[in-house]
Amino acid sequence: MISTVSVDAEPYAFDFDPMQSALLIIDMQRDFLEPGGFGEMLGNDISRLRCTIEPNRQLLAAWRSARLKVIHTREGHRPDLSDLSPAKKKRSRSQTTIGDIGPMGRILVRGEPGHDIIPELHPFSGEPVIDKPGKGAFFGTDLQTILQNCGIRKLIVTGVTTEVCVHTTVREANDRGYDCLVLEDCVGSYFAEFHAVGLKMIRAQTGIFGWVSDSARTLSALTRAGLC
């Protein structure tokens, strides 16, 4: 019988039943994080994202050794781009845009090298990978069906970027009745200010969108519960 895990967090402790909770890792893809990828090509400082790799790696290792549920997501589109809305296409205004040939194959197209999850956090077989056409992980995907079928009620959310895909997913999850804990050293943004404010927004107003903690406090909660 596994006890409840209680993570020291803001605005107050995040308690979860490990059998009804999942680690949701958002878009840790090569094109966003690797040198020479799409993110860096757009002039972004990828070190702001790369600092999340090691804490995510440690958390994922603990999560897997405790045999808890892990779900990965990837942002991307069908090769024929039929699921890329004209609005999203139009707003990707750089010279090279979604679907074009980039440094690691066609940008944000499923099956291309840059679309893959970085090797440090590569999914194991049996771990669901959600391919999402939008920023949120619920829009246009079967994530909610998977969560319902697995009895998942709470999400520990990590990945990139804090104010875009992580935030959108947390907001979507919140409206669907899921409690979310976001780990600040495991999420990253190309913009330090957006990262800080994004996290502040989640925990404001006694947790309007959820809870914020970090990987150390989460790992120590797992240890206290005898899970790692």
What x-and-dash track marks residues 105-144 binding ligand TIU by CB under 6 A?
Answer: ----------------------------------------
The DSSP secondary-structure symbol of 129 reads E
CB nearer to ligand TIU: give 16 or 185: 185
> Is 160 a binder of ligand TIU (CB under 6 A)?
yes
Interface with ligand TIU (CB under 6 A), residue from 164, 212, 219, 222: 164
> Is 27 a binder of ligand TIU (CB under 6 A)?
yes
The owner of tokens 């040939």 is 101
One of 31, 116, 131, 132 is an active-site residue; which one?
Answer: 132
Strand (E) or helix (H) holding 153:
none
> Is 161 a binder of ligand TIU (CB under 6 A)?
yes
| Residue 132: active-site member | yes
Q: Do 211 and 9 form a contact (C-beta atoms < 8 A)?
A: yes
Beta strands in 78-173 (DSSP E): 101-102, 105-106, 129-132, 154-160
Interface with ligand TIU (CB under 6 A), residue from 31, 34, 40, 75: 75
Residue 69 CA, distance from chain mean position: 14
Tell the smallest beta-carbon distance from residue 7 to ligand TIU (Å).
Answer: 24
Q: By rule CB under 6 A, what count of residues binds ligand TIU?
A: 7
What does the DSSP assignment read for 61-92?
HHHHHTT-EEEEEEE-B-TT-TTS-HHHHHH-
The owner of tokens 């979604």 is 98
Active-site positions? Answer: 27, 132, 165
